[in-house]
């Protein structure tokens, strides 16, 4: 699992994840991810290169989203593949952190 960040707009971070958010993958990135959730106020989590997610990965996203929200910020999930989106929806994760597919819309949703 790989985690990279880029600034897609002033103050807006996009976290690009690549690989499987299974137990191993989640553990590999959780420290970095949690640190970002604790320090950034506008986060877009790009899931387009994530081909698997299960409960541990979901928890990482949910806890991260709540951390950001608690500090007055916003987080959005971006372009999950169909299989991943199905799990996000069936678990109700999308009620905690929204899903968007357009980058401008996502930037707008997490900004100011």
Partner 1 sequence: MSHANGSGGRTIPVSMGRRLLIDTEEVAPGVTKVNLRGRLDANGVQTISTTFDRVARTQVRLIVDLSRVSFIASTGLRTLIGAAHSVASRDGRMVFLGPEASVESVLITSGTDAVVPIFQDLAEAICAVSVGGVDDDDRPTTSLPFSLQVDRSMRGVARVGAWVDELAILLNLSHRTEYALRLCLEEAVTNIVTHAKPVPGVDAEKVGLRLIAEPGQLCMTLQDHCEEYNPLQSGNVGATQDVSGEGGLGIGLLRQHARDVTWSRVGPVNRLMLTIPR
Contact 74, 98 (CB under 8 A): no
Residue 6 or residue 89: which is nearer to partner 1 going by CB? 89
Both structure tokens of 95 = 């009620």
Residue 9 or residue 63: which is nearer to partner 1 going by CB? 63
Interface positions with partner 1 (CB under 8 A): 20, 22-24, 27, 52, 54-56, 58-59, 62-63, 66, 83, 87, 90-93, 95-96
d(CA 45, CA 64): 10
CB of 10 to partner 1, least distance (A): 31
CB of 11 to partner 1, least distance (A): 27
CB of 112 to partner 1, least distance (A): 26
Residue 90 or residue 112: which is nearer to partner 1 going by CB? 90
Which residues on neighbouring strands pair with residue 103, listed in sequence order?
none
Contact 109, 77 (CB under 8 A): no
Q: Strands 12-21, 2-9: parallel, antiparallel or unpaired by DSSP?
A: antiparallel
């Amino acid at each position: 699992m790989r985690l990279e960040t880029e600034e897609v707009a002033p103050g807006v971070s996009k976290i690009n994840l690549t690989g499987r958010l299974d137990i191993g993958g989640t553990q590999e990135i959780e420290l970095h991810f949690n640190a970002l959730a604790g320090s950034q106020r506008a986060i877009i989590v790009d899931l387009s290169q994530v081909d698997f997610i299960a409960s541990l990965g979901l928890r990482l996203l949910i806890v991260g989203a709540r951390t950001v929200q608690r500090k007055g910020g916003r987080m959005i999930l971006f372009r999950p593949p169909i299989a991943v989106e199905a799990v996000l929806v069936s678990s109700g994760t999308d009620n905690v952190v929204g899903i968007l597919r357009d980058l401008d819309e996502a930037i707008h949703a997490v900004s100011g």
